Amino acid sequence: MKALWHIVSLPLKILSVLMAVALLLSYLSIYINPEKIWIPAFFGLFFLPLFLLNILISVAWLIVKHKAAWISICGLIPSLFYLPLFIQIHFDNPAPTDTSRRIKIMSYNVHLFGLLGKEKSMTTLPGIIDFVEKENPDVVCFQEISTFDTASVNRAFRQYPYHHYHLSFRKNGTFFGTVTLSRYPIAESGEFTFPNTDNRCSFADIVIGQETIRVYNTHLQSVHINLEKTALRLQQEELRNDELRDVSGRLKSGFIKRAQQVNQITRHMDASPFPIIVCGDFNDTPVSYTYRKMKGERNDCFTKAGNGVISTYKSFWPAFRIDYIFSDKQFDVACYKVEKVTFSDHYPVIVELRVKN
């Protein structure tokens, strides 16, 4: 029996070391620019599965009362600083008493309004219109809109007289990109066009009473991986190697391009004369260089007012948060929520902020 345990325990110890090292690499991913070294970014993407695997391994060692449990436990200790990015518990926040200094913002990747993609639906756009009307935000940041003309979007959301579009023309005759809709005047606006991609970022200086705030609407580099197709190809031995190379290449390209994009955006933010709110689909998790760089010293509205475990994307594992709203310290975060409406492959993020005195 001892001989059998010796044979089994060795690969388990090797697995413990490998999983602990993988988790440690995920911690480093937020500090290392993928343009220089991209491998840690891959492990950062899988922080939660790696965390859970290390929990299971450490529990298994503890059950058999083996000191190898310390391998996984030591790897898990730094995760205490990362878990608040995925789970929060807050008591109900009181509503702002001064509503004149309150702003409600929605960020939503609408996935082409469901009109042109694989998931075609004539009920999607009306559903989004009704949902926005019900929530009644002051500012709406849409990503991945698709339209034949902006006038149709203006009519659909007529309660917002001010808008800034950042679009590119596609071969199918449609315009694709982002739009920022506002109930309040937009004094100035501008945009970034990233090379060789449909992803983009824009900003709008919105005047609310005596205050001017700068809202960034971002859609960072996508990886364009079809999970269903990838799973099927991985099951076929003759396609497996090609699929692994293709997926790793797409992930690497995405990590690097997002790093370049976020560096360009944050340089612009540093020169902003106004308080900043950042909205958008970052296509990256909170354990990433993209997240740390974009957040900077700003509030992540989820960690300030969110509750529970939040997903913003329909994924095969929970807590897949890739859509964010950040705010400068001049704002108090009064409310944060993600609504699980089914009009897109993303869920809308909705935040209420109050300008501090």
**Which residue has better confidence, 3 or 64?**
64
Say yes or no to pLDDT of 281 above 90.
Answer: yes
Banded pLDDT at 167 (limits 50, 70, 90) = very high
The tokens 């609407």 sit on which residue?
217
Which tokens go with 348?
């809308």
222-232 pLDDT, tens digit each: 876 665 565 55
Banded pLDDT at 248 (limits 50, 70, 90) = confident
Q: d(Cα 342, Cα 323) in Å, to the nearest integer?
A: 16
pTM of structure: 0.91
Q: Report which listed range, 65-74, 83-92, 197-206, is most confident.
A: 197-206
Region 104-112 average pLDDT = 95
> How, if at all, do strands 139-147 and 102-109 pair?
parallel
DSSP three-state, residue 15? helix
Q: Where are the domains of the chain?
A: 2-81, 99-355
> How, if at all, do strands 139-147 and 162-169 pair?
unpaired
Residue 277: predicted pLDDT: 98
Say yes or no to pLDDT of 236 above 70.
Answer: no
Nearest to residue 206, comparing CAs of 161, 262, 149? 161
Say yes or no to pLDDT of 47 above 70.
Answer: yes
Q: d(Cα 163, Cα 214) in Å, to the nearest integer?
A: 14
CATH number of the structural domain 99-355: 3.60.10.10
Region 250-268 average pLDDT = 94
DSSP secondary structure string, 271-283?
A: T-SS-EEEEEE-S
Entry field: residues in the chain: 357
Residue 80: predicted pLDDT: 93
End-to-end CA distance of the chain: 71
The chain-wide mean pLDDT, for the chain, equals 88
CB neighbourhood size of 58 (10 A): 22
Residue 280: predicted pLDDT: 96
